[in-house]
Structures are given as structure tokens and as C-alpha cells.
Chain A
Amino acid sequence: MLKTFSIGGIHPAENKLSAQNPIATLDLPAQAIVMLAQHIGAPAEPVVQKGDIVKTGQLIAKASGFVSANIHAPVSGTIEKIDDVADASGYKRKAIFIKTDGDEWLETIDRTPDLKKEISLSPAEIIQRIADAGIVGMGGATFPTHIKLAPPPGKKCDILIINGVECEPYLTADHRVMLEKGDEIMVGIAILMKALSVNKAIIGIENNKPDAIAHLNKMAQAYQGISIMPLKVQYPQGGEKQLIDACIGRQVPSGKLPIEVGAVVQNIGTALAIYEAVQKNKPLIERVITVTGKSVSTPGNYLARIGTPMLSLIEASGGLPVDTGKIIGGGPMMGKALTSIDIPVTKGSSGLLIMPDREATRQPMQNCIRCAKCVSACPMGLEPYLLMVLSQKGIWDRAEEEKVMDCIECGSCSFTCPSQRPLLDHIRLGKNKVGQIMRSRTK
């Protein structure tokens, strides 16, 4: 029997419409808008000025503070301005605007397609190279990777888990990367193993991608310590804590990080970016994005430069369908509706889901019927119906006791609720408030 995580979970319709479409390279944007806050943590600090001429891959903003990441020019051209621009949520954030004039890369970047297997760098050098390349978690959380690779003192990592689960319905970017960049991923994993000095790595892949499992299984034979683990299809298996539970049966304690149980989880896309950064000296300036939706004429997977407007992705997939109700950045479960299609691709953009009107509209909320479906669906073992009420009533101390901070915001509760109650919306608000209270306490 296939393994999965032990509590909760749901199985929404998979709808992997673009699974068979190879990754296509998207044209360069005429203007790249590079957000300074593309990662969790402090926004990067610009190191270029208006009028500067930059080459592709050149550093244009450097990490400011401990949790932050470098940002590089995704195209070559002239810096037009550094100005505010509305991000996916409609709030204004600082961004660097580059007017593209071609694609002249920095000479230090190796652009040959040859696979480079030998890892010459030491673990410390690898981590430094990853930090320099501005690599962040590409699954969507965008946590700077170099921090994750340096466990806090006293903690020891003994296993690396690679997240090839892609449990979000519709999304196929990781799936295609596994099929088309298998060699690079394997070397990337070997680099990660060296950086963490572990001798065991598991790639968790859900069983709805048998071709990827077979392909990587073949590749893995040439590498010592890397094994593939097919997993039962269950959402949210791509959550770090769920994946660790599914793959090695260890439970991360409440409020703790995966390193507590000796595991580090990295995404497939991150492994590829790490290969390119360490072996080819290429910073993170492009990523694979799925553009999909039931009304989209040609759903597909695209390799797009950071800073490309979402509009060009939609145009590449046959334009915006007339019945569009919502455009979601990310997958249908955890993604967020975009307020505009002019917003640029960022390091964390894993997909663009165009939902038809009839599916996108929320149904009116009804009373809770105490069916406890949300309780059985919650992968963290929480009681969503209770947390929602506590949030609504502002009973923050009780919400903290009920472990509201453990919520991973997967949305399984809202999805499963037969009364269409916006459980997660309220719980997220409670998380914000309780988080503030807890932080003010430690000050």
C-alpha cells in the first residue's frame, strides 16, 4: 500500500490538464518588472540606479538582513526606474523596471546545455553560492534556501526530502521539470546532500505521475543514497510537515521546524535552481509556470523570466477566455486571486489558474451543521470550526491554546465544508492576531 500522511487530508479533482505539454520557453518581455520583495523576509536593497545598463544575471538588488535574498536582472537592458507597483494583492511595493534590449548574459554564467556532474565546491561554498544566486523555496513559500541549508547549532539533519508531490490540483510545472530535467535535478540533489552532509535523500512523488516516478527511478540508479517514494494522492501532501510524515513517518512537533526531526525538505524546482546556480553559476532569473484552466484554449507549462507580466503568459496560452471569473496565482487550493493581470512573475509564481465564472463564485455561507468534516480533513489535527468562531469573537487566548498557529492554511477545511463557511479566512485572521500577540510577548 502506498504511503501518505497520517491525519486528515482531502482529494480534490486533480485536473492536471497540462501534464502532457512540454515546457515552452516564453519570449522575453519588453519590460521586466522585478519586485524587490519576492521572498519571505526583508525586501532586497537595490544596487543599481536609473539609467544603469545591466546584463542578464547581473545582481540588481542585494539581500538586506538575515532572512532576505539577492535579486538579479532577468533580461539585459536599461534600468528605467525604481518605483512602486501594485503586486498580486493590489498593495504597492517597490520594483525595478528594466527596459529590455536583447539578452546579453554575464560572461561568468555557463550557458552550455552540458550536464556537469562533479561537485567541486565544499559545503560552505555551495551554501554561499546558493545565497549569492538568490535562490528561494520555489514551491511557493519563497523562504530563502541558504538559511534552510544551515541548521541552527545543536540540530543535525540526517535526511533530505525532495518535494515532487505537486499536490495542488491543476499545477504541472514540477511534473514537467521532473520529466525534462531529471539529470539536472539528480545533480542538484547530490549538491544539496553534500551541503547538508547527509547520505540519504528521498524524492516524494504522488502516484498520479507514474511517468515521472519511472523516469526518476531510472536516473536515481546512478546516484547513491537517492531513492524515489511513490505516495498516495492526497492533499496537502506537499506541506513540509505532511511530506515528512508521509515519507519517513516522523511528526514535527507543534511550533517546531522540520530540522527538529532531522529532516530538510526542498522542492523539485529548487533542486533544479540549485544545480544551475552551483554548477553553471546561473542565478535565479527564470522559472517554470503552469498556465491552466478549463476554458483556456491551450493550457501549458512555460519557462518564463522573472518580471514577465502575467498577461504575456495568458496570451501565450491562447488569451483570456470570455467566461473568466477569477485568475489565481498558484493552485486552486492555496493560490490567491490576482487583482490585475499586469503584475509580474516572481520567484514564487508556480502557476496561473484561470477559473471560469461558474466555478469561481463563492456560494453563500450557511450555518455550521456540526458535521465535523473540517475536523477530519484538517491535516494538522486542529478543529477549524472552533478556530473560526474563536477568531470571529476575538477570543485570542483560547485560539492560541487550540493551536491556531499550527494551521498551514491549506484550505482543506473550507473546501470540505458543506455549508460553504469561510473557515480559513477567519482562521488566517486569527493566526495574524495571535502571532502579533505572541511576538509582543517576547519583546
Chain B
Amino acid sequence: MSVVMITIATLVVLGATAAVILYAAAQKFKVYEDPRIDQVEAVLPAANCGGCGFPGCRAFAEALVKADDISTLLCPVGGAAVMAQAAGILGKEAAATAPMVAVVRCNGNCDVRPKTNNYDGASSCAIAASLYGGDTGCSFGCLGLGDCVDACQFDAMYMDEKTGLPVIIEDKCVACGACVKACPKIIIQLRKKGPKSRRIFVSCVNKDKGGVARKACEVACIGCGKCEKVCPHGAITITNNLAYIDDEKCKLCRKCVEVCPTNAIHEINFPPRKEKTTEEKTEEAPAN
């Protein structure tokens, strides 16, 4: 009997002593962590994609809590909704941001951009780009080996086998920018998603002179300047034989799409055009 008592007593004393030491240690070495970090992290998407520029959602939450002005910070996955929630927790102002989406600025599929040679090296755009200009006459266009698709963590991209070009699934794309970084040719760009997901962009990055570009690819931008002239908003600029549409200035009037002789300018998610007679009206409306 006494053995049992002694055992219990020993364990109680031992436990109590350990508890006192642990409590003292916990007090002494306590690290204060802002409880808001946990709260903010809880509203973040937990994708850990790095699209915000921080290594994971926790680090971004810490940055949000720490920064006085969070208007420069953005979680591209969560977008304005999540940023507003986070801002609400922190009592700070989040900048109003338009949702973005990745676009592929190359439309040189197998039919319009004839092959001039064959690449049989390692299947990686980065390696191919470090070796040569590509298997067509265009040294700017898509290499078609899918580094962007490999980089996408949201299953928002796939390689179209028919065209040999990557396709972005708009609904899944969170504009984290991983594909933009992965593309050695700098073809993919994050652009404003636009009202009703409507947007217009030049689907070409070829800086060669018109004739050279056209010879390499039927749908290349030849830098003719027609779009620049027709644009009523000054949104289009041509540098190095390549047109670029500034998505801040573009009012989606679609005039440029019509004048482009090579169909290099793409309009996305617009309703089909009406007959010639009513066209004038529909175009004027958004312009004014």
C-alpha cells in the first residue's frame, strides 16, 4: 500500500514541479504574435502561390498586419473581396483593384506560322529559348513546350494540341503571375479582366519589321499603325513595329479589331457583331 502512496506522491510532486518550470519558461520566453495575423490568414485563400510576392499566405498576412498602408499589397487570388475582408479586420484601406487575368499574346498556331525546323531537345521552353529562336521564322513567338502550364498551380492552363499554344481557362485563372514568370519569351501578360470579362489585346509580340513578321506568321502584328490611328482614346502605341493596347485607356470600342489587316488584335467575350447597318451605333455607345 505504502509503495502506491509513495509513487503517487512522487508523481504529483514531479508533475507540480515540472508545471511550475514550464509555466515560468513559457512566461519568460513568450513570443508575442499579433492575433490579427491568424485572423487575416484565415480569410486568405491558402493557395500559397506566391502571386502576392510573399512566400506564402502567412507571410502575406504578416506583411498586411505590419504595413501601415496596404494599398500596394494585393492578393491576386482573392482579389478585391478578400482584400476588403482583410482590410476590415485590420481597419485599413485596401486599394480598389480591378480583377486581372493572364492572356497569351501569341496566336501563331501550326496553320498560320509554318515550321522552319524541328526541335528535339529537352522539353522545356527555358532550355529551347536558351538554345535558339524557335522552330518557326518568328523568334518572338510561343515555343509550345508548356513551361507556363507546368507553372500553373490552379489548373487554369492547358496546351491546345491543335494549335500548339497554351490556353488559359479564364474562370480558374487567379492572375498569380506564375506563368508570366515561367515564359522565357515574355508572351503572357496579366491584363484587366474587363467589364463582363470583355477585353481587347494585341495577340502578338513580334518586333520584326512588317514584311519579316508577316512572312513568318500570318497573324503577326506588322506594326502598320492602322489601329493607332483609328483608336479614339489614344490607348494604342506602336513601338518597334509592335502595337500595344494600354488596358487603362482602352474603352473596348473594338474599332482597332476591325481595321487590323492580320487579325492580330483579339476581342474576348464580346457578343457577336450585328449587321453593318447597326454597327455604327453599337460602337459609338461605349466611346462616349
Contacts and interface: CB of A to CB of B under 8 A. Distances in A.
A371 interface: no
Contacts of B127: 422, 425-426, 428-429
B126 interface: yes
A393 interface: no
A89 B132 contact: yes
Contact of B132 (A91, A361, A362): A91
A86 interface: yes
Given A84-B208, A92-B139, A426-B127, A339 B133 contact: yes
Interface string B111-143: 000001100111010110011111000010000
A436 to B, nearest CB: 12
A339 B132 contact: yes
Contacts of B139: 86, 90-92
Given A362-B121, A422-B121, A425-B121, A90 B132 contact: yes
A336 B122 CA distance: 14
- Give the size range of B's interface with the partner: 10 to 19
A340 interface: yes
A339 B131 CA distance: 11
B130 A339 contact: no
Contacts of A295: none
Contacts of A419: none
Contact of B122 (A86, A88, A89, A426): A426
A326 to B, nearest CB: 9
Interface in B138-168: 139
A425 B122 contact: yes
Interface residues of A, number: 20
Contacts of A425: 121-122, 124, 127, 131
A86 B126 CA distance: 20
A6 interface: no
B117 A339 contact: yes
A25 interface: no
A15 interface: no
A112 B133 CA distance: 43
A432 B130 contact: yes
A336 B212 CA distance: 24
Contacts of B124: 425-426, 429
Contact of B116 (A339, A362, A426): A339
A225 B286 CA distance: 85
B50 to A, nearest CB: 13
Interface string B172-209: 00000000000000000000000000000000000011
A89 B120 contact: no
A339 to B, nearest CB: 5
A425 B119 CA distance: 13
A336 B127 CA distance: 13
Contacts of B131: 89, 336, 425
Contacts of A91: 132-133, 139
A362 B118 CA distance: 11
Given A86-B133, A89-B131, A429 B126 contact: yes
B15 to A, nearest CB: 46
B120 A362 contact: yes
A84 B134 CA distance: 17
B112 to A, nearest CB: 18
Contacts of B132: 88-91, 336-337, 339
B126 to A, nearest CB: 6
Contacts of A362: 120-121
Contact of A89 (B116, B126, B133, B209): B133
Interface in A330-383: 336-337, 339-340, 361-362, 365
Nearest to B133: A90
Given A84-B208, A91-B132, A340 B120 contact: no
A426 B209 CA distance: 33
Contacts of B130: 428-429, 432
Nearest to A364: B120
A44 to B, nearest CB: 22
B120 A361 contact: yes
A365 B122 CA distance: 9
Nearest to B126: A429
Contacts of B212: 84
A89 B212 CA distance: 17
A303 B162 CA distance: 47
Nearest to A90: B133
A422 B122 contact: yes
Interface in B196-240: 208-209, 212
Interface in A47-90: 84, 86, 88-90
A251 B116 CA distance: 44
A337 B133 CA distance: 12
A186 to B, nearest CB: 39
A22 B124 CA distance: 42
Contacts of B209: 84
B76 to A, nearest CB: 21
A84 B216 CA distance: 15
Contacts of A336: 131-132
A92 B134 contact: no
A362 B131 CA distance: 16
A122 to B, nearest CB: 43
B186 to A, nearest CB: 14
Contacts of B121: 362, 422, 425
Nearest to A327: B117
Question: Which one of A91, A428, A432 has the highest number of Cβ atoms from chain B below 10 Å of its Cβ?
Answer: A91
Contacts of A428: 127, 130
Contacts of B117: 90, 337, 339-340
Interface of A: 84, 86, 88-92, 336-337, 339-340, 361-362, 365, 422, 425-426, 428-429, 432
8 contacts: A89-B131, A89-B132, A89-B133, A92-B139, A365-B122, A422-B121, A425-B121, A425-B124
Given A429-B130, A432-B130, 6 more contacts: A89-B133, A90-B134, A92-B208, A340-B116, A362-B121, A426-B124
In order of increasing CB-CB distance, the 3 nearest A-B pairs are: A90-B133, A422-B122, A89-B132
